């Protein structure tokens, strides 16, 4: 089975621009979660999409948005880029919902990440 | 507040020495905890979860609710254990919260 793929792998943008990142989950997986990884803050949850609906959201401003398509592929968009948005953006897929309301957590498989640099 | 704390940014040991990577959590609900590992130039991957009570690559972790800890242990470190280790907490209905990670360096 092919793993989680993310495109592009590297991206350089300038402040004020917007960017779209793409994530293709493992075949058959329906949940895609996005994370931001920075040296200072570590891994921070952005949001989870399941069945084309955003299910959970972390503490990020509205400039961060996403969507999921019927084939479970997901895109993340960041508008009005700021220098602090420079980070490695990881997506992860799982078969079911990531967290089942306390009844268990599905196993996530991570992609290689997209490294975004904002100048 | 929900929080995962990994107090050590870097842990250096020699091959064959015991290893303990510390993780403390703050959560009012029933905790579900994980350890993830990222080897150099590889993807982040799940190492183990407390509900499975499993041992992976010689690593074990016991959930101590009294001390709100989930420390990762291995009796004899190997050079191939050198990696970044993240402790994570599943929040009841929402998401995974990760600690800031501990880099383990195992010297020959």
Q: Which residues of A touch B99 (CB under 8 A)?
A: 42
3-class state of residue A83 by DSSP: helix
Return the closest-CA partner of residue B35 out of B71, B82, B10, B79.
B71
Phi, psi of A85 (to 5 degrees): -85, -5
pLDDT at position B56 is 83
pLDDT tens sequence across B10-46? 999 999 999 999 999 999 888 888 999 999 999 999 8
Tell me whether residues A42 and B51 touch, CB distance under 8 A: no
Q: Which of A69-83, A86-100, B20-34, B58-72 has the highest mean pLDDT?
A: A69-83
pLDDT tens sequence across B47-86? 988 877 777 889 999 899 899 999 999 999 999 999 999 9
Considering only alpha carbons, which residue of chain A is nearest residue B84?
A42
Does the pLDDT value for residue A41 go beyond 80? yes
A97-112 average pLDDT score = 74
Closest CB to A101 among B43, B93, B97:
B93
In the block, which residue shows the tokens 């306390």? A102
Tell me whether residues B96 and A105 touch, CB distance under 8 A: yes
Q: Which residues of A touch B91 (CB under 8 A)?
A: 99
Question: Which two three-digit tokens encode residue B68?
Answer: 């709100």
* Distance in angstroms (rounded) separating the CA atoms of residues B26 and B68: 7
Question: Which two three-digit tokens encode residue A107?
Answer: 């196993």
């Amino acid at each position: 089975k092919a793993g989680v793929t993310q495109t592009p792998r590297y991206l350089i943008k300038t402040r004020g621009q917007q960017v779209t990142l793409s994530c293709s989950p493992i075949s058959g997986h329906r949940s895609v979660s996005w994370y931001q990884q920075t040296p200072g803050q570590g891994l921070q949850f952005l949001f989870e999409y399941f069945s084309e609906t955003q299910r959970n959201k972390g503490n990020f401003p509205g400039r961060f948005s996403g969507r999921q398509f019927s084939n479970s592929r997901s895109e993340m968009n960041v508008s009005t880029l700021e220098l602090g948005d420079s980070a490695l953006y990881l997506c992860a897929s799982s078969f079911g919902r990531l967290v089942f309301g306390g009844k268990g957590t599905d196993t996530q498989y991570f992609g290689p990440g997209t490294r975004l640099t904002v100048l | 507040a929900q929080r995962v704390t990994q107090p050590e940014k870097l842990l250096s040991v020699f091959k064959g020495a015991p290893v303990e990577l510390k993780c403390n959590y703050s959560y009012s609900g029933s905790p579900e905890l994980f350890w993830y590992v990222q080897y150099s130039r590889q993807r982040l991957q799940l190492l183990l979860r407390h509900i499975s009570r499993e041992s992976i690559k010689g690593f074990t972790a016991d959930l101590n609710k009294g001390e709100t800890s989930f420390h990762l242990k291995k009796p004899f470190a190997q050079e191939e254990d050198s990696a970044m280790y993240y402790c994570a907490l599943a929040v009841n209905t929402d998401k995974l919260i990760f600690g800031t990670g501990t880099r383990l360096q195992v010297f020959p």
